Amino acid sequence: MRKLIITLFSGLCLILALNPAFAQVTEFGMIKGTILTINGDALSEAQVCLYRVESGSPFRREYWRMCDFFSRTGADGSFSEIIPAGEYYMLATKKLSGENPGPPIDAGDPTWPAWDSREIKTYMVTSEGATNIGVISGAVPFKEEWLPAGKTAIEGKVLLKDGTPAEGVLVYASTDPQIQNLVYISDRRTGFDGKYIVRVDEDGEYYVRAVGASKPVEKATVQMGEVTRGIDIRVKENPSSRWDRTKEDKKQQ
């Protein structure tokens, strides 16, 4: 953990050295703590998502959002991360499927906090000292009823170069052309039919992409309360990383 902190601090120092203006307007602080399950076991190898409060709550059950910043817990459930100062929501989750942790979350995945909690806490990170949230217990299996059900969305298919559906792909959407700020994520990875749906917060013009896309972004105009359909995405066909092939298939190539 100490090595990780030193590496992160060194990276931040390099950024500040290369961009003095950024250093003048941005302050950083550390947030750390330990997360346990409701039974008192460590929530190990979980992703801790941190969301700026100013960007809105990620717990509205209307969409999935990409973390603004993230960390990862160790074997004992502890984590620490250096992030810009500010107020944050926090979400921690571990994938039972073995995939990389983080949103979207599947029913049954250990998650903190419980989404039926009456009050979702926020955490203030400052440059004046580490924000230690202490030991938090209460991670529970994610319930199917907590899955997003927002009606404002973008829908389509992810297709390989030859037109066949691409399986196992996450799709991202944002009003930011660079898809870096306030990024929404598809409900789940594409299945055998390549279909995806990304639920968003409001109407407007969105930029949509998938990792490996042959075109940087697709555009979609969204109306509040409606689903914009037919936004298909083409991804490059790369036999060494096809999403519809198992690890065993790839080893045989």
pTM value?
0.80
Q: Are strands 227-228 and 153-159 parallel, antiparallel or unpaired?
A: parallel
Residue 10 tokens read as 């060194």
Indicate if the pLDDT at residue 224 is higher than 50: yes
pLDDT in tens, 96-146: 887 776 788 999 999 999 988 667 899 999 999 999 999 999 999 999 999
pLDDT in tens, 23-50: 456 899 999 999 999 999 999 999 999 9
Dist. CA 58–CA 14, nearest whole Å: 31
Domain boundaries, the chain: 2-146, 153-241
What pLDDT does 131 receive? 97
What pLDDT does 60 receive? 87
Superfamily, domain 2-146: Immunoglobulins (2.60.40.10)
Average pLDDT over residues 222-243: 78
In order of 10, 42, 80, the CA distances from 73 in angstroms are 21, 9, 8
What pLDDT does 14 receive? 46
What pLDDT does 187 receive? 93
What pLDDT does 5 receive? 45
Element (H, E) at 20: helix 20-25
3-state helix, strand, coil in the chain (%, to 5): 15, 40, 50
What pLDDT does 103 receive? 86
Give the 3-state secondary structure of residue 78: strand
Q: Give the burial class of 186: count Cβ atoms within 10 A of its Cβ; 0-12 exposed, 13-18 middle, 19 or more buried.
A: buried
Dist. CA 99–CA 208, nearest whole Å: 23
What topology does CATH give the domain 153-241? Immunoglobulin-like (2.60.40)
Residue 33 tokens read as 């703590």
What pLDDT does 243 receive? 40
pLDDT in tens, 59-105: 988 999 999 999 999 999 999 999 999 999 999 999 888 777 678 89
Q: Are 126 and 83 in contact (CB under 8 A)?
A: no
| Strand order through the sheet with 171-174 | 64-65, 184-185, 171-174, 204-210, 218-222
235: Cβ contacts below 8 Å, ≥ 6 apart: 158, 159, 160, 161, 166, 169, 210, 211, 212, 213, 214
What pLDDT does 118 receive? 63
